[in-house]
Structures are given as C-alpha cells and as structure tokens.
Amino acid sequence: MANFYLDLAKQILELTKRPLSAREMIDLARKGNLIPQKYASAKTPHKTIHARLAESIRYEGSKSPFYRFARGKFGLKSNLLDMEYRQRYAQEFKAPIRRKEISNETILCIPRTDLSIDGNDGFFATSTYQGILNDESLKYCPRKTAEKDVTIKQIVTYVAVLKERQVLCYERGSYSASGKEFIGSKSIGFGGHVSSDDFDLFSTDGRGVVSNAWRELREELNLTDKQIVGRGPTVVGIINDTTTQEGQKHIAVAMVVWCNPADDITKGELEIKNLHWKSIRALPNDLLEFEAWSKTFLRYLVQHLDSIFNAYRQTNILFSDQ
C-alpha cells in the first residue's frame, strides 16, 4: 500500500483492534502525533482517508487489507485472526456503488446541422476546430437539457498528458458521470464539458476551451503550472466518433500537454484508477481495451509523434497543423 492514508489507517486499526470511522482514525492519529508535517495542514483528511479506503475495497476486492464493518466504518482483515475480535466484528457491510450526478452547468454546444463532420468518424485537423470555434451557432445549454437533445453535440476537452515519448493512461472507475459503456475501459483523455464559467478575461480562444483544459487537469491530476513544460494545453485537432452513445452526444477537442519528466502525477478524482505511463513509439498491444476516443487519439499520436515532439523541443509550440 504505497499510500500514506492507507498506511495510517492500517496502523490505527491494528492499535485499536476495532472498526473505526474515518474521522475517528484521524482524531486518534492526531492524538498520537502520527501525522507528519507534510499532511498536517490538510483541511479534510477524514474525507481523504475515507476515499482511499473505499477505493481499496472497491478496486482491490478480496486482496484489500480492509473491509467495511458498517456504513462509514472500516475494519482490518488481519484483526479477524483474533477470536475475540472475530466474534464481535466479523460482519461485512456492502456499500452501494456510487455514481457521480450529472450537474446542470451551462455547457458549450453546437447544432449538428452546423457541424461539417457530423456523421463522419475519425481525427480531424485544427482547421476543423477553428471552424467550430468561429461558428456563430455555438450556444450554451443546461447540461441536463443537452443530454436529451439529439440535435446538438456537447463540446468537451480531451487532453493527452505526455512525458517525453510516453502518454499517461488510466482506467475509468464507476464513480463517474460518463456513460456506463466507458466504466472499466482504459483511456488517455483528461478533460470535461466546456462551460460558461470557463470563459473569462484571460481566455485566449474566446470560448474558454483552453481554460477548461487547465481547470480539468488541476482537478483530475492535481497538475500545477510548474509541472507543465511549454505553453500548456494545446489543441491538435477534433475527434468525432458515433460508434458509442457518448460519442453520439459529444465532440472532443483533442489537446496535448507535456509535463516535467521528474515530477510525479497523482490522481485528484475517484473515477481515475491505475495511473500509468505507456510508450507511444508504437500502438500498444492492449489498444482494444481503450475507449473509442483514446483509440483514435493513440493512432494519431503514434503517427505524428516525431513532428509534435520536435516542434515542442525546438520552439515550445506543441503542434503545427498537419
């Protein structure tokens, strides 16, 4: 368990020999001076330790060292070897799987009748993106309304995080507002719906697309400006795919961002699991395990990696239109 909060939970549960809530664990850890200075300033450590324990049980299953004794209370499996403990606490609470609610933020959409590539699947050049960005029919709609409107497509950012010649990959967990068809799939895309809140005085594209990409990277991966090399998220094209239900409702602004090779990247949201780097010198052997947009994006990155990488290395401009 290479995680401070899981290690702390294990230590506290071993000492107390009884199931505890996350808040009880943190309170006892503070009393015992078990929280190092690095983590002492955290505002809601009980929420973090609860989330890490829930993830361990959810994703590691029988291999997790923890179990749920009751709603909001966790036990340590190794304590069950003690007969007295076993008689009192040998019961498991099955928590319902949580899914993220769809928010009703106001999001950027385009009528399908004004989308030149509607009905065509694939990766399209930045000229297509510029055409969409400058389209006068672009409008903001409440997301819950857009989800039911088949005449429009919702615009989302889809950022590939690169480190030298590797791309950051992950698996989509169940705590997500994405379609069920994506849960468990591998992905290389980080991002989300471009909302009216993303557009401000500092937006460089007039719609807040780049601002949205920055926001999503900070939320999903805890990325800071110092970890980014070059000018930040840069548009490389558009991905359109109608083979999935989510693809029929959305169009992706494909972007790339390079990060410092020396920096570690950590997840910031529950839906992200199994973060790992993968070489993009060639198509991965597990390509079929990736969701549709990622398959398309991976093919593009492998084909154009040298030109993208060389442009970045020489000028810090991450892309020139193909």
Residue 99 inside a domain? The answer is no
pLDDT of amino acid 176 = 44
Average pLDDT of the chain, as a whole number: 86
31 and 159 share one domain: no
254 and 311 share one domain: yes
pLDDT in tens, 50-101: 988 988 888 788 889 999 999 899 999 999 999 999 999 999 887 765 545 5
Question: What's the rounded Cα separation, in Å, for the pair 232 and 218?
Answer: 12
Q: What is the pTM of this model?
A: 0.67
159 and 271 share one domain: yes
Residue 94 inside a domain? The answer is no
85 and 113 share one domain: no
Total domains present in the chain? 2
**Boundary of a domain, candidates 61, 89, 117:** 89
Please say whether the beta carbons of 190 and 161 come within 8 A. Answer: yes
Percent of the chain past pLDDT 70, that is, above it, reads 87
pLDDT of amino acid 200 = 66
Residue 111 inside a domain? The answer is yes
Residue 96 inside a domain? The answer is no
269 and 175 share one domain: yes
- The domain containing residue 60 runs over which residues? 4-89
306 vs 67, residue with greater confidence: 67
Please say whether the beta carbons of 49 and 26 come within 8 A. Answer: yes
Please say whether the beta carbons of 85 and 17 come within 8 A. Answer: yes
pLDDT in tens, 210-233: 999 998 998 888 888 888 888 788
pLDDT of amino acid 181 = 59
Chain centroid offset of residue 15 CA: 35
Residue 234 inside a domain? The answer is yes
164 and 271 share one domain: yes
Question: What's the rounded Cα separation, in Å, for the pair 224 and 265?
Answer: 10
Residue 124 inside a domain? The answer is yes
Q: Which of 254, 253, 249 lies closest to 112, judged by CA?
A: 249
**Domain of residue 289, CATH code:** 3.90.79.10
Q: What's the whole-number mean pLDDT along residues 201-212?
A: 76
Please say whether the beta carbons of 309 and 268 come within 8 A. Answer: no
Lookup: tokens for 289 = 């395990």
- Where do the DSSP E strands lie in the chain? 20-21, 66-70, 73-76, 106-111, 122-124, 139-142, 152-163, 166-172, 186-187, 228-240, 250-259, 272-279
